[in-house]
């Protein structure tokens, strides 16, 4: 099973805000998902965002956490690493992709040409504990796997409780 590395573009946050006419509608939906995610212990990634009301449905994403890292896995069937762009701007990790399919059949009595294009974009607000400089991504068998190591400061530290007296 061959895996291919996917580059993570890192850019600074834009100095000026752009106007987003859909923001009021998206904000309410995002708050609803945030409340839902908080109820299931998914608070660090509760900031998943809908980037455009006119894109194709977002890919299925699983996010797991262990003591050293968060791992995001996105199912992107029929795509390759060349179809996917991963970027980090400030605290926002964005996954963009575009799939193009063309099919052509020719016969003596007919000629069939089908084309389909689709794009998606999905963004995640990263928790403070992610070491942004060590994020890596791999793509294999239609699955994008993004590994986000935690900073040393995020490691759990046991604090001894002593009896007063």
Q: What is the pTM of this model?
A: 0.58
Which domain, by its residues, includes 8? 4-13+47-152
Query: How much is the average pLDDT of 126-132?
Result: 91
* pLDDT of the residue at 138: 96
Within a domain: 161: no
* pLDDT of the residue at 54: 41
Structure tokens at 4: 């291919």
Q: Is the pLDDT of residue 29 over 60?
A: yes
Within a domain: 122: yes
Within a domain: 28: no
Of 65, 12, 45, which is closest to residue 127 (Cα–Cα)?
45
Q: Is the pLDDT of residue 113 over 60?
A: yes
pLDDT 10s digits, 44-61 = 554 444 444 444 567 889
**CATH code, domain with 91:** 2.60.40.790
Within a domain: 163: no
Q: How confident is the prediction for the chain on average, in pLDDT?
A: 77
Within a domain: 127: yes
| Strand ordering across the sheet containing 61-65 | 4-5, 136-140, 143-149, 69-75, 61-65
Burial 90-115 (b: 16+ CB within 10 A, else e): eeebbbbbebeeeeeeeeeeeeeeee
* pLDDT of the residue at 14: 55
Residue 87: band (very low, low, confident or very high) from pLDDT cuts 50, 70, 90: very high
More confident residue, 50 or 103: 103
Within a domain: 55: yes
Kindly tell me the number of DSSP H helices and DSSP E strands found in the chain. 1, 10
Within a domain: 162: no
Question: How many structural domains comprise the chain?
Answer: 1
Q: Is the pLDDT of residue 71 over 90?
A: yes
Within a domain: 102: yes
Q: Is the pLDDT of residue 81 over 60?
A: yes
């Amino acid at each position: 099973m061959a895996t291919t590395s996917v580059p993570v573009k890192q850019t600074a946050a834009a100095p000026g805000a752009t106007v987003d006419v859909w923001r009021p509608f998206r904000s309410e939906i995002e708050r609803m998902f945030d409340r839902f995610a908080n109820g299931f212990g998914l608070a660090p990634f509760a900031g998943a965002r809908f980037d455009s009301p006119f894109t194709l449905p977002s890919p299925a994403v699983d996010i797991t956490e262990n003591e050293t890292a968060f791992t995001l896995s996105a199912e992107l069937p029929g795509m390759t690493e060349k179809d996917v762009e991963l970027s980090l701007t400030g605290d926002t990790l964005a996954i963009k992709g575009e799939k193009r399919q063309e099919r052509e059949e020719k016969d003596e009595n007919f000629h069939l040409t089908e084309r389909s294009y689709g794009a998606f974009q999905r963004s995640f607000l990263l928790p403070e504990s992610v070491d942004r400089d060590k994020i890596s991504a791999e793509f294999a068998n239609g699955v994008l796997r993004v590994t986000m190591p935690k900073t040393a400061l995020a490691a759990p530290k046991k604090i001894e409780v002593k009896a007063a007296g």
